[in-house]
Amino acid sequence: MSAGPLPARVRIVEVGPRDGLQNETMALGVDDRLALIARLADAGLRDIEAGAFVSPKRVPNMAGSGELMQRLPRRAGVSYPCLVPNDTGLDAALAAGCTDIAIFAAASETFSQRNTACSIAESMDRLSAVAQRARDAGVRVRGYLSCVIGCPYEGAVDSRKVAGMAARLIDMGCFEVSLGDTTGIGTPAQIGALVDTVAEQVPVAQLAGHFHDTWGMGVANVWAALQRGVTVFDASVGGLGGCPFAPGASGNVATEDLVYMLDGAGIESGIDMQALVGTARWISARLDRAPASRVARAFRPQD
């Protein structure tokens, strides 16, 4: 498929409070995580991934997600999805008052075993049951697919396999499937080809991009997906994060780097850059590190 016209507007799903913080060396308490979410909402983010109902032994930085969701002041027009891996996680999410969840699967057998301790087939069956229960409870369900370009253990991943799994997540009732380049090895040509293949089975309007920036291709990969009609992208303030089960993976594309590119192309995101950069610098300082994003380092208020 050739590149099409660019969209007028893009929806950004901010994953810093979950995907960003889960792999940081320093674990933040609930108060700091709530403050981060509030700052992100102040900057204009309307989809903020707030936490994860996963084992604290496996992902200790997400401990306290139940308390966080119970204390979180809900703002009109803002969604706060949480990651849910199984029925136990869903029980906890429902008890905490979650109205949006995300379920996740991997397009690599080895990564599936490392991440969820089960095969792809077992994972998809488990997720189908979780999605059905969530929908019966009136909860919106988003789907993630990881390792859509390559796996740190198996190498290249077949895009046709990714397409089939994305279609199954849609069939389960996911309103959207986020395609995750977990290791960040993808290039714009590969991302464009992947979107073309997946779009043969899932409408582009139901696809999102989730591109880690390990090899510096995050923003370029967003551009490639934009040209294929994708208008939803996951990003992490300050370029936080990585994946605890993908050795060497760095954080997602930084939200402020993405917004800078969109602003330059005349594509609306609804994000206040100054507030966003201030948040990136604030959370980086709380983690005793420099912001990973180029924009956060370069930005001055007069810019």
Report the C-alpha gap between 267 and 78 in whole angstroms.
Answer: 21
Q: Do 283 and 36 form a contact (C-beta atoms < 8 A)?
A: yes
What's the first-to-final CA gap in the chain, in angstroms? Answer: 37
Judging by beta carbons within 10 Å of its beta carbon (0-12, 13-18, 19+), is residue 133 exposed, middle or buried? middle
Among left, alpha and beta (phi > 0; psi -120 to 50; other), residue 229 is left
Angle at 237 between CA 231 and CA 242, to 5 degrees: 90
3 state SS of 14:
strand
174 is catalytic: no
Selected catalytic residue, list 98, 151, 174, 243: 243
* Side-chain half-sphere CA neighbours of 63 within 13 A: 9
* Tokens (6 digits) for 229: 């009609």
Neighbours of 129 (CB within 10 A): 13
* Active site amino acids: 243
